[in-house]
Amino acid sequence: MNFQQYDLGQQKRGSTAIVNAAGQRRNVRLMDSSNFSAYKNGRKHRFYGGLVQRSPYRVTIPRDGHWYVTVDLQGMRPGARVRSAVRVEPGALPLARSSSPGNLSAFRVERPPVSADDHGRTWNVFISHAGEDKASIARPLYAALAGYGVEVWFDEAELRIGDSLRRKIDQGLARSAFGVVICSEAFFAKGWPQYELDGIITRIVAGE
């Protein structure tokens, strides 16, 4: 029997064999190794495919393994020649799953050098916010970061009665490695948040 064979090698389930055959009618068989051997020797065999009347024909590989494709004209015009080509298209990637939030201790960031205050203190993060955003955003953010062991400069935690507001803010800005700015209409309408933002921008411009 006149046929063309294509050894697809090891293939993954879900990949697609794409068969292009000249002419309109061809027998296409996708077979594993044992059935391909039986087919070549004229024995009973199982396959995926059948009589194909249009090209290209696509057949999905049902499981992992070694696969073959054959194209023949059995039962059609005597003396006709088989002309075909086969390629394999990989299947879809596995379903992507979002990673669950991990502990911040797994993250490593090279902290910019900062000098300590008079009490030997430095902070990882300075939170700049307007008072209107304290309850809904700033305070929960502070609590969450502190829960991960992050040293946070937060006005409620750092300011005491009689403290110089400007001096304490300047100390916090100068001795924090990173700044977090909570932007809102209230933030841009107030002076102190603008002052803090200016301090953060100044450090960025200075390469700190």
Task: Give the model confidence (pLDDT) of 49-95 as tens digits.
Answer: 999 888 888 999 999 999 999 988 776 666 666 678 899 988 877 77
- Domain hosting 126: range is 104-205
Provide mean pLDDT across the span 125-131.
91
Q: Yes or no: say if 146 and 152 are a contact pair by the CB < 8 Å rule.
A: yes
Task: Tell which wins on pLDDT, 43 or 106.
Answer: 43
Q: Is 192 exposed, middle or buried (0-12, 13-18, 19+ CB in 10 A)?
A: middle
- 111 and 150 inside one domain: yes
- 147 and 191 inside one domain: yes
The string of DSSP codes covering the chain is --EEEEEEEEE-TT-EEEEEESSS-EEEEEEEHHHHHHHHTT-----EEEEE-SSSEEEE--SSEEEEEEEE-TTS-TTPPP-EEEEEE--PPPPP-PPPPPPGGG----PPP----TTS--EEEEEE--GGGIIIIIHHHHHHHHHTT--EE-HHHH--TT--HHHHHHHHHHTEEEEEE---HHHHT-HHHHHHHHHHHHHHHTT-
Provide mean pLDDT across the span 153-178.
83
Provide mean pLDDT across the span 98-114.
62
pLDDT higher than threshold 70 for residue 172:
yes
Residue 94 lies in a domain: no
Per-residue pLDDT at 104: 58
pLDDT higher than threshold 90 for residue 24:
no
Residue 98 lies in a domain: no
Q: Token digits for 113?
A: 């050098």
- 130 and 83 inside one domain: no
pLDDT exceeding 90 applies to what percent of the chain? Answer: 33
Residue 137 lies in a domain: yes
Per-residue pLDDT at 36: 93
Provide mean pLDDT across the span 99-119.
62
- 70 and 109 inside one domain: no
Question: What average pLDDT is seen over the chain?
Answer: 83
Per-residue pLDDT at 97: 75
Per-residue pLDDT at 23: 65
At 63, give phi and psi (nearest 5°).
Answer: -160, 165
- Which of 64, 89, 114 is the last residue before a domain boundary? 89
At 168, give phi and psi (nearest 5°).
Answer: -65, -40
- 79 and 115 inside one domain: no
- 111 and 85 inside one domain: no
pLDDT higher than threshold 80 for residue 201:
yes
pLDDT higher than threshold 80 for residue 125:
yes
Q: Which of 74, 82, 69 is closest to 33 using CA atoms? A: 69
- Which of 63, 89, 115 is the last residue before a domain boundary? 89
Residue pLDDT, tens place only, 132-147: 999 999 999 999 998 8
Q: Token digits for 83?
A: 């002309």
Per-residue pLDDT at 105: 61
